Amino acid sequence: MSKMLCSCGHVIYDQTDGIPYKAELYPDADTEALWDGIVSAATSLLEALRSGERLRWMKQHFLPGYPADVSDDGMLSDAITGVAARLKRDVYQCELCGRLYVQASSKKNTFVVFTPESPDARNCLRGETGTQ
């Protein structure tokens, strides 16, 4: 999604990283699969690095054209991102009216809309780390 029109008329954009009105949602039922996938990716990469099978591991986990000169930590980050991307759902909050748009499924670009009952519900997706 690059932009979406809220029911109130405000345009919600997703064209950069670190958006303060966007979050990722992982259903509780998928939590075990998420962590198992992350641990599996990390473990298999460590084993491949220890046994000198780095290139084989790359071919198994990434598409052709993946850069061979990527660092080990960059490769692990990409593998973890891939696991998470298969399970995550995007959530957007309209900065004007506070409505939440929750992706209905990780495999579909359709959204379910929730209207806040509390006037202080806006900005509930802002990060806690102070970066946004």
For residue 58, the surrounding DSSP H or E stretch is helix 54-61
Could you list the beta-strand ranges (E) of 21-107. Answer: 22-25, 89-93, 100-105
pLDDT for 94-122, tens place per residue?
999 999 999 999 888 899 999 998 877 77
Determine the 3-state secondary structure of 126 from DSSP.
Answer: coil
pLDDT at position 119 is 75
Q: What is the pTM of this model?
A: 0.80
pLDDT for 66-96, tens place per residue?
998 999 999 999 999 999 999 999 999 999 9
Residues 6+ apart with CB under 8 A from 40: none
